[in-house]
Amino acid sequence: DTGVSQDPRHKITKRGQNVTFRCDPISEHNRLYWYRQTLGQGPEFLTYFQNEAQLEKSRLLSDRFSAERPKGSFSTLEIQRTEQGDSAMYLCASSKDGGYYEQYFGPGTRLTVT
């Protein structure tokens, strides 16, 4: 079984543009998480899905951010009207049901907004 994959690995965009990232979780995992990580910090929770339902969103997730998991498999994270402050590593993770299970992380998408 492959691990969590993310695409693209790197994205450079100009301020004001929209970007979309994709995450493919481990196939038998029902839960999928998005995190943001900036330099020198640990990952910060953004949102998570149980199957196709988005169950929680962090206050970090402004209105410009939207996430979907339409069929309970892969997920997309879209950022509209990007700002320089959005520059970060966006990490996706998946786990079995239950928040006590360990989460397995993908390699991340590094976003640079110029």
Partner 1 sequence: AQKVTQVQTEISVVEKEDVTLDCVYETRDTTYYLFWYKQPPSGELVFLIRRNSFDEQNEISGRYSWNFQKSTSSFNFTITASQVVDSAVYFCALSEWNSGAGSYQLTFGKGTKLSVIP
Contacts with partner 1, residue ranges (CB under 8 A): 33, 40-45, 48, 55-56, 89, 91, 93, 98-108, 110
Compute the least distance from the CB of residue 107 to partner 1, in Å. 5
Our CB check for partner 1 shows the closer of 9 and 64 to be 9
Our CB check for partner 1 shows the closer of 42 and 70 to be 42
Our CB check for partner 1 shows the closer of 5 and 66 to be 5
- What token pair was written down for 106? 């993908």
Compute the least distance from the CB of residue 94 to partner 1, in Å. 12
Residue with tokens 């939207």: 66
Compute the least distance from the CB of residue 6 to partner 1, in Å. 10
Measure the CA–CA gap between 38 and 58, rounded to whole angstroms. Answer: 16
Q: How many other C-beta atoms lie within 10 A of the C-beta of residue 79? A: 23
Residue with tokens 């992380």: 105
Compute the least distance from the CB of residue 28 to partner 1, in Å. 16
Calculate the CA dihedral of residues 86, 41, 107, 18 and round it to 10 degrees: 0
